[in-house]
Chains A and B, each alone.
Chain A
Amino acid sequence: MIRRLCALWNNVFRRKQLDRDLDEELQAYVELVSAEKMREGASPEDAYRDARRDMGGVEQVMQSVREVRPGVWLDRLVQDLRYGVRTLAKNPAFTLIAMATLALGIGANTAMFSLLDQVVLRLLPVRDPERVVIVRETGNHYGNSFGPNTISWPMFEDLRDNNQVFAGMFCRFPATVTISGGDRAAQIPVELVSGSYFPILGVGAALGRTIAPDDDAVPDSQPVVVLSYSFWRSYFDSDRSIVGRTINLNSYAMTVIGVAQPGFDGVELGVPAKVFVPIMMKTEMTPHSDGLKDRRRRLSWVTAYGRLKPGVSLEQAQLSLQPLMHSILEMEVQQPEFTRSATPADREPFLRNRAELLPGSDNDLREDMRRPLWLLLALTGAVLLLACANLANLLLARATAREREFAVRLAIGAGRARIVRQLLTETLLLSTAGAVVGLALAFLTDRILLRIYLPADAAAEFVVSPIPDGRVLAFVVGVMLLTSLVFGLLPALRGSRTEITLSLKDRSGDASASGISLRRMLVGIQVALSLLLLVGAGLFVRTLRNLDSLGPGFPTDHLLTFRINPSLNGYSDEQTKSFYQRLDINLQTMPGVASVGFSVMPLLKGYAWQNAVLGKDFEGAPIEEQPVLNHVGPGYFATLGIPILAGRAFTAQDVGPAKYAVINESFAKQYFPGRTPLGQRFGLVDDMRPVSPDIEVIGLIPDKKYRDLRETPPAQAYFPYYQDAHFRFMNIYLRTQADPRQIENELRERMRQFDPHVPVVELQTVNEQIGLSLRTERLVASLSAVFGGLATLLAVIGLYGVTAYAVMRRTREIGIRMALGAVPGDVIAMVMREVLILIGAGLAAGFLLALALANLVRSQLFGLNPRDPLTFLGSVIVLTVAAGLAGLIPALRASSLAATTALRHE
């Protein structure tokens, strides 16, 4: 063994020495033999020549000795690699386009799948994540709800204590708290968790311990927290002495008992929790909202999770939970809070609500991103197909062009195996280079996409790694390698069998006639896929433009917004109210600020406060018909540029006890049809007590958008915020005189001086906010546009290559035609006819494909039909013109050939 390694070593690194020895040995042999022949009477020249002939050539013997050396394969590989690099470098256009194609196919697919995998497909980073499920209640909800996946605390307790299918259940509630200490204050997302959370998930502590059931037994009793690993590192600089110390959350001193294991950021992927707090501390963490002690059964706020018992499938568990859920609903339907907020007709549908189990990794963010990301993956899949077609086309062209080279090499004695091995090396070289570039591309793309896709502060924390996924990388590289091998090697194999003499003699022999039709087909496929991608790009770009031009119904230029929540600093209602009133005056006097508007609800962020209303002749409504409501300050309408159509806006004097409202036209139309809205009265349905219509309408405003740009403005009613009993977060809108970004820093400083403990959150212009809300659409539009453009470019290159080759093969024919009197126009027509047939076939296939697939993207479009004629026609025209030009160049070249040159071509 050692001896073999030594020999290998010698062969690789001391080859020259070995070759010299061998040469000497063979020379000595030749001399011995010729000396003998001379003794037998031959002349010195004859003897020497005969000796060499008998031997069969010194070079040949040397080569056959080299062939048996242990490292010979390495030798050959180095040779092949060198030759491969040389031939690739000799044809830079081919190499560049092939590498770019490979890189595009590999890069785009790897990047997109990695993103999809991590954002949408990935499971929770916990023990046996596939056994963890969310337990939710389907159907319409009556009462207050924090989201579709939430249930009430009493319902959670009932499910936890009476189910037969879970090894354990836990629940959580996401909240935002203010962490303060020293001279810094920040709002951070936290997760309020039940004591069973960590044990059931199987998540341990990196430092100290996690929250145990004992920490979560009695309300308000255990002010303890566990930090997330990434938050511990970023905010506390990995300070190991943190365990046992206290931190201030909402001005409550909380003891740090541990740091969770690295990589675990709570159960809501995409919204990383930075601190975990026992849910029994809810009162302290969410002032003014006391879901624990408020045991209303129709107040849904916790997300419940269960770990399936071993051997119980998700379907079995879901089935066996139904009787339990039904008995809970039977009980709830009797309770006054249900009968108050729902009509008798709602009883039956409510009792049909079911328990539903979802994968534990589900959340709203995923729900929103799933379709766009799958869509983009489908687009990149088309790009992969196209890249393969392009690569195949390139390799076929190259193999055809190299037929003569192979023939020469065969003629001077190269073995077929050697030629195939050489080609294999070249292909691998090309693919490896392409894969490396593609991988770099994927890495870069993922980083850029993540930056676009996630809000800046989340991107810093969100554990989406830009490292591409290994499986998909292997798959994509495999597909492209297979393509390279099939289309790079098959022609070579066939070529190596062709009659050497034929290939050498006659380039336009029929040896590769079948190659051209295969290439035509590949180009046709490329044209079809390009059309598909162009149509997609057109649809998404137009959707984005439609959304961009929508506007919310009020001017958004020079409008700055931010959010604060002084109640998270332990401020009482009175203190917070005074804070807001002082701040209002303070900001109005700020230089550069034209007016200030306070709004409890954020605009155009997808949030809405909805409540059923009642009046003289109307009462209650299911959630989708309820109006959206808001509490605003006196300057709100003026700041947003919303005119008062009738009556008046609020003033600082509207303090009560009389209750006032400003409504929009839709509200007036829906609830007071045919009447003057001013002076009408309505009330807000409350499930705690019966109410009377005691709110008086004092103003009327036009309809404007509230939740998002896509909606038709809903019925809206506004109340003065200072008439409310509770004061929590506030969204503040500033109309500035100049570019609002100029005063951002000044504003931050002013707020810090006003109260350094209340952090300013999400300070941005409304235009930036709107831009951010369209980021999914922007991502889809820009990526599909890039893909469409690249696809067209590749198709055009492919078409040019095929046409140029076809023209070259027919040079002699063209010469004869011209000698017989054809004019250049005839030649152009002859070439272009074929080009147009090819384009036409590709377009027809692509058109049908696009028509068939268009419906799949309907939900991603806005303001246009998925079979939008303009987009389809435009894509066809763009592609026809581009491809036509690509075909025209070789056609023109052919027509300008002189007949004599063409005839002498061979």
Chain B
Amino acid sequence: MGVSRRIAQITGGAFDVKAGSLFPALHRMEQAGWLTSSWGESETNRRAKFYALTRAGKKQLHSESERWERISLAMATALRTT
């Protein structure tokens, strides 16, 4: 829950990731080895599953971020020149 809440927070509500999209995405990333998961206590003292980036996950994040930077820069430039 923390993950979708945090996304909504950061993007100022622009992205509202529903559970139906979130869970498949988390599981897919876990299967790809980018995330590890473990059970723990939430800040409200309830049982919750925690996801953390693995080393491979960080690398993937880094390269995906770079890719996004490039694309968004290109898009922004393209939009500005028209």
- The reply to whether A61 and B46 contact each other, CB–CB distance below 8 Å, is no
Contacts of A26 in B (CB 8 A): 19, 23
User: Interface residue count for A (Cβ, 8 Å)?
Assistant: 24
- Contact of A68 with B by CB under 8 A: yes
Judged by a CB distance under 8 angstroms, whether B80 is at the interface is no
Knowing A3-B33, A33-B1, A69-B31, the reply to whether A28 touches B46 (Cβ < 8 A) is: yes
CB-based contact A69/B20 at 8 Å: no
Per the 8 Å Cβ criterion, residues 1-45 of B in contact with A are: 1, 18-20, 23-24, 27-28, 31-33, 42, 44
Residue in chain A with minimal CB distance to B19: A55
A32 touches B28 (CB 8 A): no
Report whether B27 and A32 are in contact in the complex, using a CB–CB cutoff of 8 Å: no
A25 interfacial by beta-carbon distance below 8 Å: yes
Q: A residues within 8 A CB of B42?
A: 32
The answer for the CA separation of A71 and B18 in the assembled complex, in Å, is: 24
Cα of A596 to Cα of B46 in the assembled complex, Å = 110
In the bound complex, residues from chain A placing their C-beta under 8 Å from that of B31 are 3-4, 7, 68-70
**B62 interfacial contact with A, CB 8 Å:** no
Instruction: From known contacts A25-B49, A61-B23, A68-B28, infer whether A32 and B1 are also in contact, taking CB-CB under 8 Å.
Output: yes
Interface residue from B24, B32, B44, B48 paired with A65 (Cβ < 8 Å):
B24
B44/A68 in contact, CB under 8 A: no
The answer to the question of A35 belonging to the interface, with a C-beta cut-off of 8 Å to chain B, is yes
With A4-B31, A7-B31 already in contact, the answer to whether A32 and B23 are too (CB < 8 A) is no
Nearest neighbor of A25 in chain B, beta-carbon distance: B49
Q: A33-B1, A55-B20 known; A69 and B46 CB under 8 Å?
A: no
CB interface residues, B 47-72, toward A, < 8 Å: 47-49
Bound CA span A67–B19, Å? 14
The CA of A33 and the CA of B19, in the complex, are separated in Å by: 11
Query: Which A28-56 residues have C-beta < 8 A from chain B?
Result: 28-29, 31-33, 35-36, 54-56
Q: Give the distance to chain B from A561, nearest Cβ to Cβ, in Å.
A: 80
Contact for B27 among A33, A36, A68, CB less than 8 A: A68
State A298–B40 Cα separation when bound (angstroms): 106
Number of residues of chain B lying within 8 A (CB) of chain A: 17
CB distance from B36 to the nearest CB of A (A): 12
A65, B25: Cα distance in complex, Å:
8
Q: With A32-B42, A35-B44, A69-B31 as given contacts, are A60 and B20 in contact (CB-CB < 8 Å)?
A: yes
Is the CB–CB distance between B20 and A56 below 8 Å?
Answer: yes
Indicate whether A162 reaches chain B with its CB closer than 8 angstroms.
no
Minimum Cβ distance to chain A for residue B51 (Å)? 10
- A67, B24: Cβ atoms under 8 Å? yes
Please tell me if A64 contacts chain B, counting CB pairs below 8 Å: yes
Give A67 to B27 CA distance when docked, in angstroms: 10
Closest CB-CB distance, A892 to chain B, in whole Å? 58
Q: What are the interface flags for A61-88 relative to B under an 8 Å C-beta threshold, 1 for contact and 0 otherwise?
A: 1001101111000000000000000000
Give Cα A22–Cα B30 distance, bound, in whole angstroms.
13
Question: In the bound complex, what is the Cα–Cα distance between A22 and B49 (angstroms)?
Answer: 10
Given contacts A29-B1, A65-B23, contact A55 B18 (CB under 8 A): yes
Main secondary structure of the interface of B (DSSP, over half): mixed
* A contact residues around B19 at 8 Å (CB): 26, 29, 54-56, 61
Task: Decide if A32 touches B24 in the complex (CB within 8 Å).
Answer: no
Q: Are A64 and B1 in contact (CB-based, < 8 A)? A: no
Is A68's CB under 8 angstroms from B48's CB?
Answer: no
Nearest CB in chain A to that of B49: its residue: A25
A64-B23, A69-B31, A70-B31 as given contacts; A31 in contact with B46, CB under 8 Å: yes
In Å, the complex CA distance between A70 and B33 comes to 13
Rounded to whole angstroms, the CA-CA distance of A250 and B23 in the bound complex is: 89
Q: Which residue of the partner chain B has the closest CB to A32?
A: B1
- Tell me which residues across on chain B come within 8 A of A29, comparing CB atoms: 1, 19, 48
Report how far A69 CA is from B26 CA in the complex, Å. Answer: 11
Report A-chain residues with C-beta under 8 Å of the C-beta of B18.
Answer: 54-56
B48:A28 contact, CB within 8 angstroms:
yes
Cα A3 to Cα B28 with chains together (Å): 12
Contact of B46 among A3, A35, A54, A70 (CB under 8 A): A35
Which residues from chain A contact B44 at a C-beta distance below 8 Å? 32, 35-36
- A33 to B4 alpha-carbon distance, docked (Å): 11
Residues of B within 8 A of A61 (CB): 19-20, 23-24
User: Within 8 Å CB of A25, what residues of B?
Assistant: 23, 49
Most interface-central of B19, B20, B28 (chain A CB within 10 A): B19
Q: Complex formed: what's the CA distance from A25 to B39 in Å?
A: 9
B13 to chain A minimum Cβ distance, whole angstroms, is 15
Q: Which of B1, B33, B47, B49 has the most CB of A within 10 A?
A: B1
Contact A32 B48 (CB under 8 A): yes
Determine if B23 and A28 form an interchain contact, defined as CB atoms under 8 angstroms apart: no
With a cutoff of 8 Å between Cβ atoms, the chain A residues found around residue B48 in the complex are: 28-29, 32
- In the complex, are the beta carbons of A64 and B46 less than 8 A apart? no
Q: How far is the CB of A712 from chain B (nearest CB, A)?
A: 85
Chain B nearest CB from A64 CB (Å) reads 5
- List chain B residues, Cβ under 8 A from A55: 18-20
**Please, which residues of chain B bring their CB within 8 A of the CB of A64?**
20, 23-24
**Which residues from A are CB-within-8-Å of B47?**
28
Of residues 7 through 37 on chain A, the ones whose CB sits less than 8 Å from some CB of chain B are 7, 22, 25-26, 28-29, 31-33, 35-36
Closest chain A residue to B31 by CB distance? Answer: A7
**Shortest distance between the CB of A68 and any CB in chain B (Å):** 5
Chain A residues, Cβ within 8 Å of B24: 61, 64-65, 67-68
In the complex, the chain B residue whose C-beta lies closest to that of A56 is B20
How far, in Å, is A530 (CB) from chain B's closest CB?
A: 56
Alpha-carbon distance A670/B5, docked complex (angstroms) = 117
**Could you say which residues of chain A place their CB within 8 Å of the CB of B49?**
25, 28
Q: Chain B residues near A33 (CB, 8 Å)?
A: 1
Give the CA-CA distance A31 to B45 in the complex, in Å: 12
Q: Which residue of A lies closest to B45 (CB)?
A: A35
By a CB distance below 8 angstroms, the chain A residues around B27 are 22, 65, 68-69
Task: With both chains docked as a complex, state the minimum distance between the C-beta of A26 and any C-beta of chain B, in angstroms.
Answer: 7
In the complex, A65→B23 CA distance in Å? 6
Q: How far is the CB of B46 from chain A (nearest CB, A)?
A: 6
Q: Which residues of B contact A7 (CB under 8 A)?
A: 31
B46 and A32 within 8 A (CB): yes
Shortest CB distance A20–B (Å): 13
Within 8 A of B (CB), among A136-180: none
Bound complex: CA of A60 vs CA of B21, how far in Å?
11
Residues of B within 8 A of A32 (CB): 1, 42, 44, 46, 48
Residues of A within 8 A of B23 (CB): 22, 25-26, 61, 64-65
Interface residues of A in 842-857 (CB under 8 A from B): none
CB proximity of A75 to chain B, nearest CB, Å? 14
Q: CA of A25 to CA of B1 in the docked complex: distance in angstroms? A: 11
Among B18, B24, B42, B46, max chain A CB count under 10 A is at B24
A61 to B18, CA, bound (A): 10
**Bound CA span A36–B44, Å:** 9
Cα(A67)–Cα(B28), bound, Å? 10
Chain B nearest CB from A3 CB (Å) reads: 5
Tell me which residues across on chain B come within 8 A of A54, comparing CB atoms: 18-19
Residues of B within 8 A of A69 (CB): 27, 31
Contacts of A28 in B (CB 8 A): 46-49
CA distance in complex: A33, B48 (Å): 11
Task: State how many angstroms separate the Cβ of A80 from the closest Cβ of chain B.
Answer: 22
**Which A residues lie within 8 Å of B46 (CB)?**
28, 31-32, 35
- A33 CA to B1 CA in the complex, in Å? 7
Show 15 A/B contacts (Cβ-Cβ < 8 Å), sorted by A.
Answer: A3-B31, A3-B33, A22-B23, A25-B49, A29-B1, A35-B44, A36-B1, A54-B18, A54-B19, A55-B18, A56-B18, A56-B19, A61-B20, A61-B23, A70-B31
Known: A28-B49, A65-B23. 16 other contacts (CB 8 A): A26-B23, A28-B48, A29-B1, A29-B19, A32-B46, A36-B44, A55-B18, A56-B18, A56-B19, A56-B20, A61-B24, A65-B24, A67-B24, A68-B28, A69-B27, A69-B31
The 8 A-B pairs with the shortest beta carbon distances in the complex, nearest first, are A55-B19, A32-B1, A56-B20, A68-B24, A68-B28, A7-B31, A25-B49, A3-B33
Q: Which residues of B contact A (CB under 8 A)?
A: 1, 18-20, 23-24, 27-28, 31-33, 42, 44, 46-49
